[in-house]
């Protein structure tokens, strides 16, 4: 039994065998167990991969013969013999039947064995064959991985996914029915992998660092997402404790469920809107079961990260599903926020030196107006089905907002000329998530209909800390005085302009922070739906007068540690 610690990124406890999204010593080669019923399909996958490898090598042999000569062609002839070698084929078949491991892993094992054997023979000819073994093995592997590089959708046994890092697109495409928890080497609490794990209610411990290398595929793990703890090879007592934690959690959940239909009102009657953040329409059932006052943030880019780029009709249907699903409650849809860690090469996004400071979000959309206007038309058409608001991400200047509004008007005329109904007016707001927006929020408030503070990015850009980098995660601090001052300034400028201001960053999901934000004058908090009941309980436990007094005290504090200690003493969570 061994314990490793990481960042508690998504609550809950689970235990299952580890599925390594890479091979222990060989990054990019996954290692996992195959269900007995899926062995024939796995074998067929291997046969197909070797078939394609043979076709490729035969072409190379012909090319070598035509362009270089007999001797060079013989190299590839030898590769073809290896690919057809009955000993190789039988060994993979035997190992698959015996160990139930995926064939990438078996090919790698075979490669290592052969290399070890050949290395012990002191003959230059034999030594040269080592590179042939590598070459053939990599070729088969390449074909296995080409189809299966993102094989997370095909995981068919209950597993704990262990990875170096997970992209948002991995989280979207994985088979969530079988992934019981997630453990990664990289990542922080507000990385998109963490946000999605919480949305999908998958316990997660992220940012465990190099210790991830000590986890082996097939080993039983317990993941405690509340404490940021991973136990490998647990003894019976640890398994019993994990089972008890699952029971206790479900009892706590049913207690909180009783609050579902009650308003998030302070004891002296100030109501705070508690809304849900969503990524894909599939989350709607879970969202509705938590009784939100609306959707405060629909991260529309996740529709684009599932493997293909949706057209206007597909987007329209997705937005309409969510808007109609909320039955008249407000839905704020954020326009495409790609770039940074949400990479989408299909849309022409390029490798950048500093992707988080680069061609992201509204910056991308203002230069790819074809993609942007398609989305805006879909949004406008869907907006007639309920109370809809449009929000632009990562606005840093008033000019960006003006240009985005101009394109929205163009999209509106295009819809009309194509015979589609669109609302006469639609509220258009911005995310305040870069310091320049917060610092010039008085100017932006003149043209924005509402503000939503995105603290995940606001903290990232204020503290100059990559929110996905576990090595510096200690700096991603919502209670740092610099962050709190920017939030306060934004709230004050919104109040002067008479526009609503909310928050949709992860900070809102912390009950103590939620009380502080309410005390600072925030009227809307939007969060992953699972966080709503606990935040509601905290808001209902005190008066707005107390919350304001807490906020006044906090604003005078010198450090995030001081704020956290004070809040934990004052707020019942």
Residues near ligand PEP (CB under 6 A) are 195, 297, 299, 337, 433, 454-457, 504-505
State the minimum distance, in angstroms, from the CB of residue 452 to Mg ion.
Answer: 10
Half-sphere exposure of 498 (CA within 13 A, CB side): 0
Could you tell which of ligand PEP, Mg ion, none binds residue 172, using a CB distance below 5 to 8 A set by kind?
none
**Nearer Cβ to ligand PEP (505/511):** 505
SS3 assignment for 251-298: HHHHHHHCCCCCCCECCCCCECEEEEEECCHHHHHHHHCCCCCCEEEE
State the minimum distance, in angstroms, from the CB of residue 436 to ligand PEP.
Answer: 14
Active-site residue 192, yes or no?
A: yes
- 506 is a site residue for Mg ion (CB under 5 A): no
Could you tell which of Mg ion, ligand PEP, none binds residue 504, using a CB distance below 5 to 8 A set by kind?
ligand PEP
State the minimum distance, in angstroms, from the CB of residue 458 to Mg ion.
Answer: 8
State the minimum distance, in angstroms, from the CB of residue 299 to ligand PEP.
Answer: 5
Distance CA 401, CA 45 (A): 50
**Nearer Cβ to Mg ion (283/341):** 341
Q: Give the residue among 197, 163, 187 at the shortest CA–CA distance from 472.
A: 187
**Catalytic: which of 192, 290, 476, 480?**
192
**Nearer Cβ to Mg ion (433/470):** 433
Which of 154, 224, 341, 457 touches Mg ion by CB under 5 A? 457
Give CA torsion, residues 564, 547, 290, 460, to 10 deg. Answer: -40
Distance CA 469, CA 471 (A): 5
Could you tell which of Mg ion, ligand PEP, none binds residue 13, using a CB distance below 5 to 8 A set by kind?
none
Distance CA 513, CA 478 (A): 8
Q: Which two tokens stand for residue 348?
A: 């022409």
Distance CA 560, CA 105 (A): 46
Could you tell which of ligand PEP, Mg ion, none binds residue 476, using a CB distance below 5 to 8 A set by kind?
none
Which of 292, 454, 502, 511 touches Mg ion by CB under 5 A? 454
State the minimum distance, in angstroms, from the CB of residue 342 to Mg ion.
Answer: 10
State the minimum distance, in angstroms, from the CB of residue 259 to Mg ion.
Answer: 28
Distance CA 282, CA 287 (A): 9
- 279 is a site residue for Mg ion (CB under 5 A): no
**Nearer Cβ to ligand PEP (400/433):** 433
**Nearer Cβ to ligand PEP (111/457):** 457
Q: How far, in Å, are 148, 385, 435, 456 from residue 506 at the CA level?
A: 33, 29, 17, 6
**Nearer Cβ to Mg ion (248/357):** 357
Q: In sequence order, what are the residues at sequence separation of 6 or more whose Cβ sits closer than 8 angstroms to the Cβ of residue 254?
A: none
Distance CA 324, CA 332 (A): 13
Give the residue numbers marked as catalytic: 192, 504
- Which residues of this chain interact with Mg ion, rule CB under 5 A? 433, 454, 457
């Amino acid at each position: 039994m061994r314990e490793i610690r990481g960042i508690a990124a998504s609550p809950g406890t689970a235990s299952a065998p580890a599925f390594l999204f890479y091979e222990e010593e060989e990054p990019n080669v996954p290692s996992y167990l195959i269900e007995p019923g899926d062995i024939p399909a796995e074998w067929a996958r291997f046969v197909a991969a070797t078939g394609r490898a043979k076709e490729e090598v035969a072409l190379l042999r012909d090319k070598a013969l035509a362009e270089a000569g007999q001797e060079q062609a013989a190299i590839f002839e030898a590769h073809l013999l290896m690919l057809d070698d009955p000993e190789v084929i039988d060994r993979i078949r035997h190992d698959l039947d015996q160990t139930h491991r995926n064939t990438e892993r078996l090919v790698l094992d075979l490669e290592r064995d052969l290399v070890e054997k050949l290395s012990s023979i002191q003959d230059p000819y034999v030594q040269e064959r080592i590179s042939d073994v590598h070459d053939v093995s990599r070729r088969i592997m390449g074909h296995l991985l080409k189809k299966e590089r993102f094989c997370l959708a095909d995981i068919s046994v209950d597993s704990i996914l262990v990875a170096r890092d997970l992209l948002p697109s991995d989280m979207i495409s994985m088979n969530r029915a079988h992934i019981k928890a997630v453990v990664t080497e990289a990542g922080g609490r507000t990385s998109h992998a963490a946000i999605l794990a919480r949305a999908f209610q998958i316990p997660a411990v992220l940012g465990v660092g190099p210790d991830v290398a000590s986890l082996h595929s097939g080993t039983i793990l317990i993941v405690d997402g509340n404490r940021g703890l991973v136990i490998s090879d647990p003894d019976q007592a640890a398994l019993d404790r994990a089972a008890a934690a699952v029971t206790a959690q479900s009892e706590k959940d049913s207690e909180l469920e009783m609050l579902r239909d009650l308003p998030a009102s302070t004891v002296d009657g100030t109501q705070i809107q508690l809304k849900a953040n969503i990524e894909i329409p599939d989350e709607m059932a879970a969202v509705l079961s938590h009784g939100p006052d609306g959707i405060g943030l629909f991260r529309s880019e996740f529709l684009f990260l599932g493997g293909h780029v949706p057209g206007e009709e597909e987007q329209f249907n997705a937005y309409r599903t969510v808007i109609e699903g909320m039955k008249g409650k407000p839905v704020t849809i954020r326009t495409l926020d790609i770039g940074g860690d949400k990479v989408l090469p299909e849309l022409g996004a390029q490798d950048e030196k500093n992707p988080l400071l680069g061609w992201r979000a509204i910056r991308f959309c203002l230069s790819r107006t074809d993609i942007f206007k398609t989305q805006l038309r879909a949004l406008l058409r869907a907006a007639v089905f309920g109370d809809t608001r449009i929000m632009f991400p990562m606005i840093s200047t008033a000019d960006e907002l003006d240009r985005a509004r101009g394109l929205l008007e163009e999209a509106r005329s295009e819809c009309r000329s194509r015979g589609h109904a669109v609302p006469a007016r639609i509220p258009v707001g911005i995310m305040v998530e870069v310091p320049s927006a917060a610092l010039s929020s008085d100017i932006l408030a003149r043209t924005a209909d509402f503000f939503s503070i995105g603290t995940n990015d606001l903290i990232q850009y204020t503290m100059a800390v990559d929110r996905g980098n576990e090595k510096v995660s200690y700096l991603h601090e919502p209670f740092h005085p610099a962050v709190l001052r920017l939030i306060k300034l934004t709230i004050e400028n919104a109040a002067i302009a008479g526009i609503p201001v909310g928050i949709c960053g992860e900070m809102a999901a912390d009950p103590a922070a939620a009380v502080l934000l309410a005390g600072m004058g925030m009227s809307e908090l939007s969060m992953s739906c699972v966080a709503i009941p606990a935040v509601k309980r905290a808001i209902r436990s005190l008066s707005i007068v107390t919350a304001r007094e807490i906020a006044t005290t906090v604003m005078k504090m010198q450090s995030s540690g001081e704020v956290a200690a004070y809040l934990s003493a004052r707020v019942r969570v």
